[in-house]
């Protein structure tokens, strides 16, 4: 299965809506359920205006995953970026997440000159945590009751990957 990574285009809003509307996906992200296509259009437009970047993974022309890189405006934090990832539930466990992570780590460290990549993940999202650890992300702490999910406040783990050239 060939996985192609490319920059997000405005017409990808429908794919974001499809991916992030699936209960298995939005329950494990900090996204809201039932996102509208219009919301994604506006969000993708504003992300590009801010200098952040979104990428998608395609298999046979179908968008099956997304990853975003979010920069900091504060000059004292420009060495760090945040990331957010989502994979189509039908393609979970097929290497999409690994391909997206490898791509974004290369992009952040070798093209943006970042030293640090940060992310947040629910502490019970074992598959995502295993993916992040596979790529060298380390746990930095737990934020207790940080996010509301399905009527319950849940703990979220902060993780980061430091570019080894700067350690």
156's CB contacts (< 8 A; 6+ apart) are: 30, 120, 121, 122, 123, 142, 143, 146, 147
* pLDDT tens sequence across 33-84: 778 888 888 888 877 656 689 999 999 999 999 999 998 888 899 899 999 9
pTM of this prediction?
0.90
Question: 131-149 burial, b if ≥16 CB within 10 A, otherwise e?
Answer: bbeeeebeeeeeeeebeeb
* pLDDT tens sequence across 102-120: 999 999 999 999 999 999 9
For residues 19 and 28, is the Cβ–Cβ distance under 8 A? no
């Amino acid at each position: 299965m060939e996985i192609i990574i490319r920059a997000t285009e405005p017409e990808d809003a429908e794919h974001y809506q499809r991916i992030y509307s699936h209960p298995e996906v939005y329950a494990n992200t900090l996204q809201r359920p039932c996102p509208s296509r219009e919301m994604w259009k506006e969000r993708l437009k504003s992300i590009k205006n801010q200098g952040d970047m979104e990428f998608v993974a395609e298999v046979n022309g179908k968008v099956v995953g997304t990853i975003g890189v979010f920069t900091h405006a504060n000059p004292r934090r420009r060495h760090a970026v945040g990331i957010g990832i989502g994979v189509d539930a039908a393609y979970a466990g097929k290497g999409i997440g690994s391909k997206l992570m490898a791509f974004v780590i290369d992009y952040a460290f070798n093209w943006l000159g970042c030293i640090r990549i940060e992310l947040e993940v629910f502490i019970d999202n074992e598959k995502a945590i295993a993916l992040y650890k596979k790529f060298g992300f380390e746990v930095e702490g737990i934020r207790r009751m940080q996010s509301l999910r399905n009527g319950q406040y849940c703990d979220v783990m902060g993780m980061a990957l430091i570019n080894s050239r700067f350690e």
